[in-house]
Every structure is written in structure tokens, then in C-alpha cells.
């Protein structure tokens, strides 16, 4: 196998098809599949022959054939280039790009335009300056001790999580924390895991992909139905007690206690997804369930909703009996998280920058939520006290799909509750993320959405 100067892989067999035909075949396929694109320069015949260790005549023949077929443009004294029209007849037509919606109210991201770039850059510089040479070697697969200590302190303060730094595993977001925990549970013999219905389809996908069977447990106004959980008798359960996704309900105190009672009786593990728990507006913070029984609960959390999901920085606080198994999964996944990113977050936390950023953002998000809701009078919204999205009930007669389409026609992107329903159908509702839309834009988006709801709900022909 040879790699050419244009980075193209040209595996040549010494026996079988003539060499010029092999080169032609590889280049033809690369152009058709657009691994080589119009205008791209290929090595000269001399260069390619030299790299492949074959005679120049073979390359001249291959290039000549491809030029005759219209794939290449060759000129004396210049390197051949891929022809403008090459391959166009054979490549599948590119799908027309859907125009980006002017107002994107889909859930899942904080305001990325207000990411604290200055503070992050300062933390990054300090982290790099102060890193020991040994910090650049293979990391501890569980995470850098400095970050684990900073996280244990932060989680204890901000979320009531009781965890020693040694029980924290640094992961790529809640997504990986969940994946590793699921794999560790599966390796220990677990097969079925309770999931809230409705719940985030992505997190359920993570569970199935990593080998456990999700068992839907209904959610009502008090959170997950713990009696139904006990009846279903899974080996573990995934729950978002502080701000359930997508309904936004809080697991009521009686059920928090009942959940842990069940886990102790059934010898089951509770995975607590604390994904957006820092964002709250008109209610007291709800501490983590983990703090009530650290040996029963795996607490998974990340900076995706507080800073940016692109950082891919998250963690799991793991009970002693699972810690080794989760670290083992992390070791086999990638030998540990990137060291400098970890040290940057450790600096950021140690200097109180996350708390400062959250203090700055809370009134911004609150005003955005209020603007959105004020623009939708007469409609019922739920789960509004916390998080970065609300659940908007649709009035009778307005179907989810019709409203989503009518909103899209007005350049407003929203998602339907039913995307997250597992088994139990619910009255039609939309999820509206307000995290990264400005107040004036939210006012306009709400106006358009109200019009879309009216249009979709109007009887046919009206």
C-alpha cells in the first residue's frame, strides 16, 4: 500500500491486473466518490512513479487513459488536475441543502455566543503553563486528580453530591458517562434498565447501543412512577430527578425516598442524569438524589448545558462497587480523557469561573423564558421553573406534526413531544428551547409560532 503526495491511498498488487489499469481504477473510483475533487492536483508522472517504485511509462499510460475519459486535465510541463466535470454523471446528486430556520427553538444547547471565551482561554493558558511534563503522558483513565478534586468540591457545593475525588470518572459528556456505566452494569450481569417515558431519545439510544434493554416507566406530574418501576423490576434505572427531560417535572420528595428504598430492596443501581440542573429560576435548587445514598446512585453530569456541548466534558460519580468496572470501560474506550482539556476545566472550576458564568447567565435565560411565554398567551406551558426549555401544550385540534410543519413554513424550528415518547401516548405538545435565541428573536419566533398553531388548528377549509 502506497500513500501518494496527494494523500491518496493507491494499493497496488504485483500480480494480476496490469499496474496501469490498477492505477486507473483507483483514481476513477476516487474521483467518482469525490475523494478527489475538481481542480485537485495529482502528483506528476515522475513523482508518482517514484513513490510507487514503478516505471514512469505506466503512470503516463494511466493518466493518458483517464484524460481521454474526461477525468483528468493534463498539460505538458504541468501536474495533472482533476477535470471540472469529472465524475458528475456518476456521483449521486447532492441533496438540496434545506434552508436553515431563522428561529431555532430546538432543545439541547445553551447560548454558545455567550460562551466565556476569555475566561476559558485564560484557564487554558494557565493549565498549559503549569502542567508538569508528566501530565502530557498517558493520563489516569479515571481522570486527572486535579480535575477530579475540583469536581468533587463543585458537585458537593452546587448539587449536594457526596463523592470522594477517587470515585469520579471523567468522561466525554453525560453521553459517555452513561455509556460506560451501562457497559459496566451489563458486564456485571444486568440486562434491563428502567427509563422514564417520555425521555430523551438519544439517551435511550445510548442504552440500547451499549447492550441493556430499556423498560419504559411512566412519568406523571410527580416524576417517575416508582410503583410502576418496582413492578417492572429492572436491574437498574435511569432518571432525571431535578428537571425531567422532556416534561420538566421534578421528582417529588416522597418518590425520591421511594426510589432509593426500591433500589436498596431490589439491590439495583440508580443512574441520575443531572443534565441541566444548574439552570433554575423561580424555585429552590433541588439537590442531587445521589447525596441521599451515594452507594446506590451513579450521578452523571457535564458542562454541556452550562458551557458548551462541544467541549465534551462530563463525569460520573460512581459508588465504590461499580467504580473499578466503570474505569475499566473508560480504559478500553480510549485510555482516558485529554489531559489539557481536563486541566483547563480544573482551573476554570478552581477559580470560580463556572459559578460566575452561571450567575451571569441566570437572568439572561430567565428573561428569555419570560419573553417566549409572554408571546404565547392562552397556551399552557410546563416545566418552566428550570432548564433551558419548556413544554408547550397544544390546544385541542392542533396536531404536533401539523404545527411543526406550519412553524417550519414560518422558519421556526421546534420539536414535538412525541419524538421522546416510548410507549405511553401523551396529549400533543411541543418542546421549545430558548437557551440561545435573543429576546427580540424569541418575541418574533413566539409570534410566528402562535400563528402556526392557529393555522394548524383551524378546521380544514377555514
Ligand X SMILES: Cc1ncc(COP(=O)(O)O)c(C=O)c1O
Binding site for ligand X (CB under 6 A): 108, 173-175, 200, 202-203, 240, 245, 273, 275, 302, 304, 309, 314
Spatial separation of the C-alpha atoms in residues 211 and 207, rounded to whole Å: 6
**Closer to ligand X by Cβ: residue 162 or 247:** 247
- Residue 387 C-beta: closest distance to ligand X, Å: 9
Spatial separation of the C-alpha atoms in residues 462 and 459, rounded to whole Å: 6
The residues, ordered by sequence, that sit 6+ positions from 261 with a Cβ below 8 Å of its Cβ are: none
- Residue 155 C-beta: closest distance to ligand X, Å: 15
**For residue 216, what is the enclosing H or E element?**
strand 213-220
Cell triple for residue 31? Answer: 474521483
Length of the chain, in residues: 462
Spatial separation of the C-alpha atoms in residues 369 and 388, rounded to whole Å: 8
Spatial separation of the C-alpha atoms in residues 408 and 402, rounded to whole Å: 10
**Closer to ligand X by Cβ: residue 203 or 371:** 203
- Residue 255 C-beta: closest distance to ligand X, Å: 18
- Residue 179 C-beta: closest distance to ligand X, Å: 9
Rg of the chain taking only CA atoms, in angstroms: 28
- Residue 275 C-beta: closest distance to ligand X, Å: 4
Q: Is the distance from CB of 207 to CB of 178 less than 8 angstroms?
A: yes
Cell triple for residue 452? Answer: 402556526
Q: Is the distance from CB of 306 to CB of 275 less than 8 angstroms?
A: no
- Residue 276 C-beta: closest distance to ligand X, Å: 7
Identify which of 50, 45, 54, 94 has the alpha carbon closest to the alpha carbon of residue 72.
45
- Residue 335 C-beta: closest distance to ligand X, Å: 20
Residue nearest to ligand X (CB): 173
**Closer to ligand X by Cβ: residue 10 or 184:** 184
Q: Is the distance from CB of 198 to CB of 175 less than 8 angstroms?
A: no
**Closer to ligand X by Cβ: residue 205 or 352:** 205
**Closer to ligand X by Cβ: residue 217 or 456:** 217
- Residue 174 C-beta: closest distance to ligand X, Å: 3
- Residue 59 C-beta: closest distance to ligand X, Å: 49
Spatial separation of the C-alpha atoms in residues 165 and 152, rounded to whole Å: 5
**Closer to ligand X by Cβ: residue 39 or 202:** 202
Peptide bond into 246 cis (omega under 30): yes
Spatial separation of the C-alpha atoms in residues 234 and 214, rounded to whole Å: 9
Could you list the beta-strand ranges (E) of 81-212: 81-82, 103-104, 168-171, 192-197
**Closer to ligand X by Cβ: residue 28 or 280:** 280
**Closer to ligand X by Cβ: residue 239 or 259:** 239
**Closer to ligand X by Cβ: residue 173 or 234:** 173
Amino acid at each position: 500500500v502506497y500513500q501518494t503526495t496527494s494523500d491518496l491511498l493507491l494499493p497496488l498488487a504485483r500480480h494480476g491486473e496490469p499496474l496501469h489499469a490498477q492505477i486507473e481504477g483507483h483514481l476513477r473510483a476516487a474521483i467518482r466518490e469525490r475523494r478527489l475533487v475538481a481542480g485537485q492536483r495529482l502528483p506528476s508522472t515522475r513523482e508518482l512513479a517514484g513513490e510507487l517504485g514503478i516505471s514512469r511509462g505506466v503512470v503516463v499510460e494511466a493518466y493518458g487513459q483517464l484524460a481521454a475519459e474526461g477525468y483528468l486535465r493534463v498539460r505538458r510541463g504541468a501536474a495533472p488536475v482533476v477535470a471540472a466535470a469529472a465524475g458528475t454523471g456518476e456521483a449521486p446528486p447532492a441533496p438540496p441543502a434545506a434552508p436553515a430556520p431563522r428561529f431555532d427553538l430546538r432543545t439541547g444547547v445553551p447560548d454558545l455566543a455567550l460562551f466565556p471565551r476569555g475566561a476559558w482561554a485564560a484557564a487554558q493558558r494557565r493549565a498549559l503553563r503549569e502542567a508538569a511534563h508528566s501530565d502530557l503522558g498517558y493520563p489516569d483513565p479515571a481522570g486527572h486528580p486535579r480535575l477530579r478534586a475540583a469536581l468533587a468540591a463543585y458537585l458537593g457545593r452546587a448539587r449536594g453530591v457526596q463523592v470522594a475525588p477517587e470515585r469520579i470518572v471523567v468522561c466525554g459528556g453525560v453521553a459517555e458517562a452513561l455509556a460506560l456505566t451501562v457497559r459496566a452494569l451489563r458486564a456485571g450481569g444486568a440486562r434491563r434498565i428502567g427509563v422514564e417515558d417520555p425521555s430523551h431519545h438519544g439517551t435511550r439510544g445510548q442504552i440500547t447501543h451499549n447492550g441493556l434493554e430499556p423498560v419504559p416507566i411512566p412519568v406523571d406530574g410527580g416524576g417517575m412512577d416508582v410503583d410502576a418501576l418496582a413492578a417492572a423490576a429492572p436491574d437498574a434505572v435511569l432518571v432525571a430527578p431535578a428537571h425531567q427531560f422532556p416534561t420538566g417535572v421534578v421528582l417529588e420528595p416522597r418518590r425520591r425516598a421511594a426510589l432509593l428504598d426500591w433500589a436498596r430492596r431490589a439491590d439495583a443501581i440508580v443512574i441520575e442524569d443531572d443534565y441541566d440542573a444548574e439552570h433554575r429560576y423561580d424555585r429552590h435548587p433541588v439537590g442531587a438524589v445521589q447525596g441521599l445514598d451515594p452507594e446506590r446512585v451513579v450521578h452523571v453530569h457535564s458542562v454541556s448545558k452550562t458551557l458548551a456541548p462541544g467541549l465534551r466534558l462530563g463525569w460520573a460519580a460512581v459508588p465504590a462497587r461499580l467504580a473499578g468496572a466503570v474505569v475499566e470501560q473508560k480504559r478500553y474506550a480510549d485510555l482516558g480523557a485529554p489531559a489539557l482539556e481536563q486541566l483547563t476545566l480544573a482551573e476554570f472550576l478552581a477559580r470560580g469561573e463556572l459559578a460566575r458564568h452561571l450567575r451571569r447567565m441566570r437572568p439572561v435565560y430567565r428573561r428569555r423564558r419570560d419573553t417566549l411565554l409572554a408571546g404565547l398567551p392562552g397556551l399552557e406551558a410546563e416545566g418552566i421553573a428550570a432548564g433551558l426549555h419548556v413544554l408547550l401544550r397544544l390546544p385541542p385540534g392542533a396536531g404536533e406534526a401539523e404545527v411543526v410543519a406550519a412553524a417550519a413554513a414560518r422558519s421556526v424550528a421546534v420539536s414535538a413531544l412525541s419524538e421522546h415518547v416510548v410507549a405511553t401516548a401523551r396529549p400533543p405538545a411541543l418542546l421549545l428551547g430558548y437557551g440561545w435565541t435573543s429576546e427580540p428573536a424569541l418575541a418574533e419566533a413566539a409570534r410566528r409560532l402562535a400563528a402556526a398553531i392557529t393555522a394548524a388548528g383551524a378546521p380544514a377549509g377555514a
